[in-house]
Amino acid sequence: MTSIVIPAHNEAQVIGRLLDSLLADSPVGSAEEETDIVVVCNGCTDETAQVAAARGARVRVIEIPLPSKHAALRAGDEHARGFPRLYVDADVVIASADVRALAEPLNNSSGVLATAPERRLPLAACAWRVRAYYQVWQRLPAVREGLFGRGVIAVSEAGHARIAALPPLMADDLAASLAFAPGERLVVGSAGVVVHPPRTWSDLIKRRIRAAVSTAQVESRQRQGEAPEASARTSTADLRAILGKEPRLFAAVVVFVVAAVVARRKAAKAIQAEDFGTWLRDESSRQG
C-alpha cells in the first residue's frame, strides 16, 4: 500500500484542491482506493482539519499541537501504513496517476530509493520579475536534477530509513535530496506536480530569504558531520552556461542575481543568530 503523508499548518485555503486531485480519479472499489492518505495538522488555528476531514474516510486526519513540519512528518510516519511513502506539501497539486508513476520505480530492483515529479509552475499571474527569476531558476542543473523544490518526495522503505536519520532541518526537502546519490534518486518525467510560485516580488524575496537561511543551516550541519556532504548552491559558472546557451535571458539573469543578493543580505541576521525556526511564508501563492 502506498502511503501519502501531508503536513499542514494553516492550509485551509489550499489543502482541499490537493485532496480533491488525489481522490478524483480513484473510484470506489479501485486499487488506487487503497492509497493511504494521512493529513497531519500541526499547530493549526484555522479550519485545515475540518476541510481535510470533509473529504471522507479515505483521508485520515491527525492533529498535533506543535506548529512544526518536522514533528508533523514524524507523526505522519507513525500513522502511515505502507511503502512506497510520499511526503507532499499541502500547497501543491498532484493526482493519483502521478503518485502511481512515482511509486513504480520504487517497487522494483532498480536501486532507486527516492523519486520526485517534474515541476509545473503556473507563472501567468506572477509579476514580471518573478517570471524572470523562475526562467533562470528552472534552468539551473541542481534544480533540474534535484528532488527539492517540488513539494513531493517519494521513498522506498530503504529510502525512508535514509531520510529518517537526518536531523530536523528547515530545508528538509533539500537535505532529503542530498541524502541520495544521483543513481539512487530519480525525477520521473511521466509524473507532474503543480507548484504555485509567489506572485509578487516581496513574496519571492521571502521565499529566497527562507532558502538562504535553510541552506546555511544545512551547510552548518554538514560541517558538523550531521548532514549529507553535497551542495545545491548556484555558481557563476551555472549562470554563464545558461547565458551561453540562451543570451536572450540576460535580463532574467540580472533579476535572478538581484534577488539572490537581496535575499542573502536580509538573511544574514537570522543566519548569524542561528535562527532556523522562523518560517517566512508567502501568501500570494495561496490565492485562488
> Could you tell me which of 72, 87, 13, 29 has the C-alpha nearest to residue 284?
13
Q: What is the DSSP string of 75-124?
A: HHHHH---SSEEEE-TTEE--HHHHHHHHGGGGSSS---EEEEEEE---T
Rounded alpha-carbon distances, angstroms, from residue 59 to 6, 9, 24, 33, 122: 10, 16, 13, 11, 27
115 contacts 106 by C-beta, under 8 angstroms? yes
Kind of pairing between the strands at 185-195 and 92-93: antiparallel
Whether 270 is covered by a domain: the verdict is: yes
The pLDDT, as a whole number, for residue 33 is 55
Whether 75 is covered by a domain: the verdict is: no
Range of the domain at 149: 83-286
How many residues does this entry show for the chain? 288
The pLDDT, as a whole number, for residue 204 is 97
The type of residue at 192 is G
pTM of the predicted structure, to 2 decimals: 0.89
Q: What is the pLDDT of residues 99-120, one digit of tens each?
A: 999 999 998 778 999 999 999 9
Beta strand spans in 121-274 (E): 152-155, 185-195
Q: Is 188 left (phi over 0), alpha (psi -120 to 50) or beta?
A: beta
Q: What 3-state DSSP class applies to 282?
A: coil
The pLDDT, as a whole number, for residue 49 is 98
The pLDDT, as a whole number, for residue 188 is 97
Whether 163 is covered by a domain: the verdict is: yes
The pLDDT, as a whole number, for residue 268 is 86
Q: What is the pLDDT of residues 187-221, one digit of tens each?
A: 999 999 999 999 999 999 999 998 888 887 777 76
Whether 236 is covered by a domain: the verdict is: yes
Burial 197-209, CB ≥16 within 10 A → b, else e: bbbbbebbbbbbb
The pLDDT, as a whole number, for residue 229 is 62
Determine which helix (DSSP H) or strand (DSSP E) holds 40, and give its type and residue range: strand 36-42
The pLDDT, as a whole number, for residue 230 is 62
Domain count, the chain: 1
The pLDDT, as a whole number, for residue 28 is 55
Whether 56 is covered by a domain: the verdict is: no
The pLDDT, as a whole number, for residue 25 is 74
Whether 18 is covered by a domain: the verdict is: no
Beta strand spans in the chain (E): 3-8, 36-42, 59-64, 85-88, 92-93, 114-120, 152-155, 185-195
Whether 122 is covered by a domain: the verdict is: yes
Determine which helix (DSSP H) or strand (DSSP E) holds 41, and give its type and residue range: strand 36-42
Kind of pairing between the strands at 3-8 and 85-88: parallel
Going from the first residue of the chain to its last (288 residues), give the mean pLDDT of each consecutive group of 10, the final group possibly shorter: 96 96 73 80 97 96 93 94 96 96 89 97 97 98 94 96 81 84 95 97 93 79 65 86 98 97 88 65 67
Whether 234 is covered by a domain: the verdict is: yes
From the number of C-beta atoms within 10 Å of its C-beta (0-12, 13-18, 19+), residue 237 rates as exposed
The pLDDT, as a whole number, for residue 80 is 95
